């Protein structure tokens, strides 16, 4: 069967199951089974054999250990006053910008992503506080939720980052160089998002209702100075310091940093007296449910990825690309379309694992810098997190805000555009990616 046709059939199958209200993990697994049986012509017994070991493998991989810990850390930060402090500390700094408090999404995510390797956890932690506060301040959902979806993506681009670790392993690129390479592009995207928020509110007014109360957060804090602001940002700064410090002194490996971060937040909550049994219990169970939800979809995505592999779809698509004699620019353009398509049905690590073995030889053959390609890939993966029908960040925002996924996806669209613009800028000026690793490691 033609690879493009098969891929479209699989996408259509996923859509049908999703819309009928079947849980996403179950929809993905059903489609994986059916596609192997009907496109791949395998009998049910063989499909069962295949999926048993893949399920076991993907559910027990060490790289995933960071996820429950990062999420738990996020939940703890959420249940204590650290996250409201972040918001309180950032509010006076961003209030005067056009777009006002919406910028706290961008700044909050930038800060938080410096200790968190997953964009889902970044979105959830920052969103849980900002969505309520920004709605109180009558900003329109399109701006609140859209900017959150976009900014949450910085969680993977600004180090530490789970996807960069996976890419580094597969492409044999040093992880610390990748981490360094992610910093400036992350800040660039954050800057683009802020620019858009500002421009949008200058043009459209930003607020949804006419009689918006003035910044409610700052109402009762006359005399709140820059010093207070910095004081409120101190806890997050300490945690960032400890996590980054542990990585850059070598005390912990990047994949162990989540544990160091969680420990430091636990200590902080105990020291500040915010810890009690209820906080511990609630944060832990919440982390458990969120990570099990993520794992269930990751495992299901790995089954889809295996099914695609057996159907030779990625290989055939890659061969179609190779045979067409492209320039690097055209190549990046075409695989961007390919990644956007993959990102619609797959998630993060699956995209990298599935496409890299095929694409990487082409990338090196074309003379594209592997570090640059890694950063590009992370942005494409991020894009997949906020495109329907399967987009983690969309689902998380849907869960927190109650807004329908379709609406959240539309709100996120301008930020998808900004990410593509970011990729274009990085293509024109690769130095933004390559300068920092060059400067730090020679």
Partner 1 sequence: QEFRWDLSTEYGPNSINTRTNQFFAERVSELTDGEVDITIHPGAALGYREKDHLFAVSDGAVPIATTVSGTLAGVDPIFLLSSLPFLAEDFEDVRSLLEIARPHYEDVFSQYGQQLIYAGWVDPSGVWAQDVMESTEDFEDLPIRTYDATGTRVLQELGAAPVQISWSDVVPQLATGSIEAVLTGVDGGAASGFWDYTDAFTQINYAMPLTFVHVNQDSYDALPEEYQQALMQAGQEAREWQAEQVVANQSAKYDELRDHGMTVAESVSPEFARSLSEAAQPIIDEWKERVGDRAGEILNEFNATE
Partner 2 sequence: MADPRRSPIGMLDAAVTRVSRWFGYLAAALIVYVLCHILVEVTLRNVFSTSTFVLDEYVGYALAGIIFLSLAATHQAGHHIRVRLVSNTVQGRGKDAAELIANIAALVVCIMLFVSLYGIFDRNLRFGITSAGMSRTPLWIPQIAVVVGIAWYCVRLATNALVCVEALVLGPNREREPA
Residues at the contact surface with Na ion, assessed by CB under 5 A: 113, 155, 158, 161, 343-344, 384, 387, 390-391
Residue 399 near partner 1 by CB under 8 A:
no
Residue 72 near partner 2 by CB under 8 A:
yes
CB 323 within 8 A of CB 333: no
CA angle, residues 112, 116, 119, in degrees to nearest 5? 90
Residue 353 near partner 1 by CB under 8 A:
yes
Give the CA distances from residue 186 to residues 111, 174, 358, 426, in Å, rounded to whole numbers and listed in that order.
Answer: 11, 19, 27, 11
Quick note: the x/- pattern for partner 1 over 305-344, rule CB under 8 A, is: xx--xx-x-xx-----------------------------
Query: What is the secondary structure of 80-95 as a DSSP string?
Result: SSHHHHHHHHHHHHHT
CB 22 within 8 A of CB 274: no
Q: Which residues, 34 to 53, sit near partner 1 by CB under 8 A?
A: 46, 49-50, 53
Q: Which of 12, 52, 330, 417 binds partner 2 (CB under 8 A)?
A: 52
Enclosing H/E stretch for 203: helix 175-204
User: Which residues, in sequence order, are CB contacts of 288 under 8 Å at separation 6+?
Assistant: 68
As given in the structure block, the two tokens for residue 63 are 């790289």
Residue 92 near partner 1 by CB under 8 A:
no
Q: Which stretch binds partner 2 (CB under 8 A): 58-66, 88-96, 157-165, 419-427?
A: 58-66
**CB of 161 vs partner 1, minimal distance in Å:** 12
Q: What is the dihedral of CA 341, 345, 347, 348, to 10 degrees?
A: -10
Residue 367 near partner 1 by CB under 8 A:
no
189 vs 415: CA distance, rounded Å? 10
Q: Which stretch binds partner 2 (CB under 8 A): 91-99, 291-299, 310-318, 330-338?
A: 291-299
Residue 248 near partner 1 by CB under 8 A:
yes
As given in the structure block, the two tokens for residue 266 are 């636990």
Residue 43 near partner 2 by CB under 8 A:
no
Nearer to partner 2, 383 or 395 (CB): 395
Report helix angle 277-310 to 24-38, nearest 10: 10
Q: Which of 1, 11, 23, 435 binds partner 2 (CB under 8 A)?
A: 23
Contact footprint for partner 2 (CB under 8 A): 17-27, 29-30, 33, 48-49, 51-53, 55-56, 59-62, 64-65, 68-69, 72, 246, 251-252, 256, 259-260, 262-263, 284-285, 287-293, 295-297, 299, 389, 395, 399, 404-405
């Amino acid at each position: 069967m033609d690879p493009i046709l098969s891929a479209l059939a699989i996408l259509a199958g996923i859509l049908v199951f999703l819309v009928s209200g079947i849980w996403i993990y179950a929809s993905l697994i059903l489609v994986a089974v059916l596609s192997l049986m009907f496109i791949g012509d395998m009998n049910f017994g063989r499909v069962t054999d295949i999926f048993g070991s893949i399920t076991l493998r993907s559910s027990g991989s060490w790289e995933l250990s960071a996820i429950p810990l990062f999420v738990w850390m996020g939940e703890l930060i959420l249940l204590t006053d650290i996250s409201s402090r972040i918001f309180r500390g950032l509010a006076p700094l961003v209030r005067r910008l056009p777009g006002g408090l919406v910028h706290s999404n961008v700044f909050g995510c930038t800060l938080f992503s410096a200790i968190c390797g997953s964009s889902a956890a970044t979105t959830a932690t920052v969103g849980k506080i900002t969505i309520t506060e920004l709605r109180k301040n009558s900003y329109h959902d399109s701006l609140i939720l859209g900017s959150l979806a976009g900014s949450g993506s910085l969680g993977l681009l600004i180090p530490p980052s789970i996807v960069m670790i996976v890419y580094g392993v597969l492409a044999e690129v040093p992880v610390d160089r990748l981490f360094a390479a992610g910093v400036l592009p992350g800040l660039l995207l954050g800057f683009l998002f802020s620019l858009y928020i500002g421009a949008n509110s200058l043009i459209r007014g930003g607020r949804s209702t006419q009689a918006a109360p003035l910044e409610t957060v700052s109402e009762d804090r006359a005399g709140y100075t820059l010093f207070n602001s910095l004081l409120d940002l101190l806890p997050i700064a300490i945690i960032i310091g400890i996590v980054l410090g542990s990585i850059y002194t070598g005390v912990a490996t990047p994949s162990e940093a989540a544990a160091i971060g969680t420990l430091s937040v636990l200590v902080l909550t105990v020291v500040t007296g915010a810890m009690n049994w209820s906080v511990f219990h609630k944060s832990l169970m919440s982390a458990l449910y969120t990570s099990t939800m993520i794992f269930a979809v990751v495992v299901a995505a790995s089954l889809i990825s295996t099914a695609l592999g057996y159907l030779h779809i990625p290989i055939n698509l890659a061969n179609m690309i190779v045979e067409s004699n492209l320039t690097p620019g055209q190549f990046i353009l075409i695989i961007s379309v390919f990644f956007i398509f993959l990102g619609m049905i797959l998630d993060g690590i699956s995209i990298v694992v599935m496409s890299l073995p095929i694409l990487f030889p082409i990338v090196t053959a074309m003379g594209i810098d592997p570090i640059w390609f890694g950063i590009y890939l992370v942005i494409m993966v991020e894009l997949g997190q906020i495109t329907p029908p399967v987009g983690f960040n969309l689902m998380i925002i849907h869960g927190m805000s109650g807004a329908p996924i379709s609406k959240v996806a539309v709100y996120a669209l301008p930020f998808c555009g900004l990410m593509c613009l970011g990729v274009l800028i990085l293509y024109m000026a690769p130095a933004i990616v390559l300068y920092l690793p060059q400067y730090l490691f020679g």
